[in-house]
Structure 1
Amino acid sequence: MLRCLAIALGLLISLGGCVSVNYASLAPGSFSGRVFVMWVGEGGSSGDGNFLFVPDPNQPLIFRRQNPNSPGAFIQPGMMYTDGGSIPRIAQVFKGLSPWGYAPAYMIHDWLFVARHCIVDNKDDGRFKDVRNVDFTNSVEILGEAIRALVASNQVKKDDVAASAITAAVGSFVAKNQWDAHGQCEDPISTIKPADLAQVKAALPGVSEARLLHSFNLAPGTPRVNPGRPAKIIATVDFGR
């Protein structure tokens, strides 16, 4: 995941913006719960490995917009793959653009794209009911509000340059084209490999399979798997209840 952000950041200068959102004017949302970043295997040339965003089954990550009547006012993302190298290497030298610095905000934004692609492909299901009415402009606003929430909760340091750049990048023509793309629905049954799911289950002992699958927001019918070697938890972001 993070591919939309990575592409947009890489081409922002040459393509300019599509949706203009003033980061400074956005009202910060709020996070609750906890999310893990888990390493599940070696990566390719673009990153440091294969990783999963994993909501805590006991305290799933939830993002709330300040206005409860806004589209996507309540978002509970599911488990997704990510790549530590998805932020372009040249961008990582700037403060605030490390791969994991804004991980919870990226997860919220990526979940919106996962939902959008399945809605566009008519493969929508109950997992996306809370974000079904989110449009592209809303997705840009939500990412900015999520970053502001991280700053407000002292999870990251205030950095208006990086935050503004990220918000502008996800409003680019490149990101808009990805938002509207067809044939991109990612079925978690096939995209979350059983071996990787088994590693995650082994890393979170004592939690029932039903609770895991519900918290991970995986589609009904996800195959049962037997725990294998545990995944390595490389980062934990905790917002409490």
Structure 2
Amino acid sequence: MRISAMFAAALMLPAACGHVDYEAVERGTFSGSVYVMWIDDGSPDKGDGRFLFVPVPGQELTYTRAAKHGGQVIRPAMMYTDGGSIPKIGQVFKGFSPWGYAPAYMVHDWIFVAHHCVEDGKATEAEKVVETIDFPGSASLLAETIKTLTLSGKVKKDDVAPRVISSAVAGPISKGLWEKEGACPVPRVSPEDEARAKAALPGGSAKMLRGMVRTLPDGQKVPEKPAQVVAVVSF
């Protein structure tokens, strides 16, 4: 799911946007923690390379929707994310923190991963929990989560960014990604990257990677090291 690509298109081409009534959506509740980790390739400061969303055992990021949605509970699993590319676009807005909206992006990315895996017949039980959310619902959900973060004080109130982002993910670019076939990643995360992520969590260490090596583009083999934590948001 490339929110940043849709966001950029929304800024340059109004027709790329759909419509989400940001004022009408109801806030939910976040709990747990968001850990976003940089894996490799590029610069974490610029949002380049591969990133992982990593749940913390016992502190998993959880979003509980309002009563009108039956109090639906959404709990993303570990997955690759490109939320790190948001800063490149988001810096043009006052109050738009590069990683402040990370919990909202992770929930939205998870809905896309789950949808693709349900459609491909490869969904886990956790992914099947959100299979009733359709494409318009995914855009409304992002608006919900952004509003929840704003009203809870986790991000600065901004009169532009939430509405632009919400509308961008309701447009045809996003819908094209939603309808993409064969997009379920198997495995969701490689065993090597999962090990690096767990080594970077509180209580983890490089000792967990003992004996693991990686091959650089030039063919050189080097010891694996823990992933780099680039964002933590806790509730």
TM band (smaller chain) = 0.7 to 0.9
Deviations 1:145-189 (A, max 9, x none): 1011111221101112100000000001111111111111112x2
Task: Write the mapping of 1:80-95 to structure 2, written as runs, cut at 5 A.
Answer: 80-83=79-82, 85-87=84-86, 89-95=88-94
Distance in 1 (CA, whole Å) between partners of 2:68 and 2:42 is: 39
Helix, strand or coil: the match of 1:141?
helix
Structure 2, unaligned runs of 5 or more: 211-223
Give 2:47's aligned residue: 47
The 1:158–1:18 alpha-carbon spacing in structure 2 relative to 1, beyond 3 Å, is closer
Give 2:189's aligned residue: 192
Give 2:66's aligned residue: 66
Q: Which amino acid aligns with 1:129?
A: K
Q: CA deviation at 1:20?
A: 1.7
Give 1:236's aligned residue: 232
Q: Which amino acid aligns with 2:26?
A: A
Please tell me whether Structure 1 or Structure 2 has the larger radius of gyration of its CA atoms: 2
The 1:43–1:192 alpha-carbon spacing in structure 2 relative to 1, beyond 3 Å, is farther
| Contact 1:10/1:88, CA 8 A, preserved across alignment | no
TM-score (norm 2): 0.81
Deviations 1:50-91 (A, max 9, x none): 321111112101001112645x82100011223365237344
Give 1:57's aligned residue: 57
Deviations 1:87-127 (A, max 9, x none): 37344322354431210000000000001111222222312
Give 2:151's aligned residue: 152
Task: Write the mapping of 1:75-114 to structure 2, written as runs, cut at 5 A.
Answer: 75-83=74-82, 85-87=84-86, 89-114=88-113
Q: CA deviation at 1:237?
A: 0.6
| Contact 1:136/1:179, CA 8 A, preserved across alignment | yes
Task: Write the mapping of 1:176-187 to structure 2, written as runs, cut at 5 A.
Answer: 176-187=175-186
Residue 202 (str. 1) matches residue 199 (str. 2):
yes
Deviations 1:28-52 (A, max 9, x none): 1110111111222232798334321
Q: CA deviation at 1:206?
A: 5.0
TM-score (norm 1): 0.79
Structure 1, unaligned runs of 5 or more: 208-224
Helix, strand or coil: the match of 1:87?
helix
| Contact 2:96/2:156, CA 8 A, preserved across alignment | no
Q: CA deviation at 1:196?
A: 1.8
Identity between Structure 1 and Structure 2 (%)? 47
| Contact 2:90/2:98, CA 8 A, preserved across alignment | no
Distance in 2 (CA, whole Å) between partners of 1:106 and 1:57 is: 20
Distance in 2 (CA, whole Å) between partners of 1:65 and 1:87 is: 24
Give 1:219's aligned residue: none
Q: Which amino acid aligns with 2:7?
A: L
Distance in 1 (CA, whole Å) between partners of 2:113 and 2:232 is: 22
| Contact 2:9/2:16, CA 8 A, preserved across alignment | no
Q: CA deviation at 1:233?
A: 1.9
Higher relative contact order (CA closer than 8 Å, sequence separation 6+): 1
| Contact 2:37/2:228, CA 8 A, preserved across alignment | yes
Q: Which amino acid aligns with 1:192?
A: V
Helix, strand or coil: the match of 2:115?
helix
